[in-house]
Chain A
Amino acid sequence: MKYIIFLSLGLLSLNLHAQGDAIEKYFQQYIENNDFTVVFISPKMFQLISKLDLNEVDNDPEAKLIMETVSDIRGLRVLTTDVNPMERYKEAMQKINTKEYEVLVTVRDKGENVRIWVKETDSVVEELLLLVGAVDEFVMLSFVGNIDLEKISKLANNIDVKGAEHLEKVGSGQD
Chain B
Amino acid sequence: MDHKSISEILNKYWAGETDLQEESALKKYFTGVDVHHSLKQYRPLFAYYLAEVEDKPLDSIDAAVLQHIQYKAVPAKTKVFSFSKAWKLAATVLILLGVTTFFYQHITEKSGVHITYDDNPEEAVEAYLELKAALALVSNKIDDGKKEALKGLSKTKSISIMK
Chain B residue at smallest Cβ distance from A56: B125
Chain B residue at smallest Cβ distance from A42: B118
Interface size bucket, A side? 35 or more
B117 contacts the other chain (CB 8 A): yes
Q: What is the minimal beta-carbon distance from B69 to any residue of chain A, in angstroms?
A: 66
- Taking a contact as CB atoms under 8 Å apart, the answer to whether A167 and B128 are in contact is no
How far is B115's CA from A31's CA once the two chains are assembled, in angstroms? 10
A7 contacts the other chain (CB 8 A): no
Among A41, A81, A153, max chain B CB count under 10 A is at A41
How far is B124's CA from A52's CA once the two chains are assembled, in angstroms? 8
- Taking a contact as CB atoms under 8 Å apart, the answer to whether B138 and A128 are in contact is yes
- A-B contacts, CB under 8 A, total: 144
Partner of A159, one of B109, B136, B144: B136
- Taking a contact as CB atoms under 8 Å apart, the answer to whether A172 and B140 are in contact is yes
User: Which residues of A (21-71) have their CB < 8 Å from a CB of B?
Assistant: 31, 33-42, 44-45, 48-49, 51-52, 57-58, 60, 66, 69-70
User: Which residues of A (133-153) have their CB < 8 Å from a CB of B?
Assistant: 139, 141, 143, 149, 152-153
What residues of chain A lie closer than 8 Å to B120, measured between beta carbons? 45
Partner of A36, one of B112, B125, B128, B146: B112
Please list the residues of chain B having a beta carbon within 8 angstroms of any beta carbon in chain A: 106, 109, 111-121, 123-125, 127-128, 130-148
Please list the residues of chain A having a beta carbon within 8 angstroms of any beta carbon in chain B: 31, 33-42, 44-45, 48-49, 51-52, 57-58, 60, 66, 69-70, 76, 78, 81, 104-107, 109, 114, 116, 128, 130, 132, 139, 141, 143, 149, 152-157, 159, 161, 163-164, 166-167, 170, 172-173
